[in-house]
Amino acid sequence: MGTNDHTRTLGRSGIEVSALGFGCWAIGGEWRTADGQPLGWGKVDDEESVRAVRRALDLGVTFFDTADAYGTGHSERILARALGKRRADVVVATKWGNLFDEERRTADGQDDSPAHARRALTASLRRLDTDYVDLYQLHISDADVGRAAELRDICEDFVREGLIRAYGWSTDDPERAAVFAVGPHCAAVQHRLNVLQDAPELLALCAESDLASINRSPLAMGLLTGRHTAGRAFEAGDIRNAPPAWLPGFSRGTGADVEWLGRVEALRDLLTDNGRTLAQGALAWLWARSPRTIPIPGFRSVAQAEENAGALAKGPLTAAQLTEADRILGR
């Protein structure tokens, strides 16, 4: 994986990162829509979050992905606190486009204007306690294509000004991602990818355009950890307890979906080969799927940080195992 088994390059930027990143949505804590729907993953212990980030650093993880909206700014603040003087040793990615009320901890719409992009970046730099962001990502997955071209151009301005090193778009639409891809300093597409939910068109775009494939939902929002059973609800503040339309595999108030859990069980023996945990096997599938993938599983504890980081030492699945996974899933 890259220059050695533990690193990859962030697309054409030349920025080297660990082959595994850590997604910082969950450590933002609880936040909601204006009408009370949960957008976080439940309660968090900030001290444990800080310990988990520092443990990840000690285990070789150098890439951390957050967003200004996660916990309405709280995730960025916690990440900054955890990194401290080690900021220069890591690659920090954040996102913009969603509006929020930090005091009420609520989401408050979206703003795709270039003026907001600059305001949001200024605010993120302050919360992250840094003077640059390594990778700045548009967080509006279905933004207007014409407006996106303007936002791509302002990201080029940010690069020239030294405020960011590279940029990308968090979207599952290959046509939208291609709009950003023509920018000289576009380095990545962040998109959903896991063994249950493949994304061949986006991986093809990344290969054609020399971009990194940053994989959100690498563990299918927890389904691929093997810790969830059908009929068991999540806590009230967990987004999976009242899943929006874009979050398959879960049902309101009843937890994980039986059909999805069946697919996980069918894959269990394959993914846990070679002493891997189920989660480690799911991450290994992603590394085998493409030389450009950088999974960013979430975490809330030191134990989760250790399990996820432990996948690095075991490396990717074999080509034969990749084929077998497709056969099991009927692809």
Q: Give the domain CATH number at 200.
A: 3.20.20.100
**Enclosing domain of residue 190:** 7-329
Catalytic residues: 70
pTM of the prediction?
0.96
- Do the domain assignments include residue 19? yes
Number of domains, the chain:
1
Enter the tokens of residue 138.
């548009």
Q: Is the pLDDT of residue 318 over 90?
A: yes
Q: Is the pLDDT of residue 4 over 60?
A: no
| Residue type, position 148, single letter | A
Is residue 44 a contact partner of residue 27, using CB atoms and an 8 Å limit?
Answer: yes
Mean pLDDT of the chain: 95
pLDDT at 3: 38
Q: Per-residue pLDDT tens for 250-306?
A: 888 777 888 999 999 999 999 999 999 999 999 999 999 999 999 999 999 999 999
Q: Per-residue pLDDT tens for 106-162?
A: 999 999 999 999 999 999 999 999 999 999 999 999 999 999 999 999 999 999 999
- Do the domain assignments include residue 16? yes
Give 159: exposed, middle or buried? Use CB within 10 Å, 0-12, 13-18, 19+: buried
- Do the domain assignments include residue 1? no
- Do the domain assignments include residue 2? no
- Do the domain assignments include residue 251? yes
| Residue type, position 143, single letter | A
- Do the domain assignments include residue 12? yes
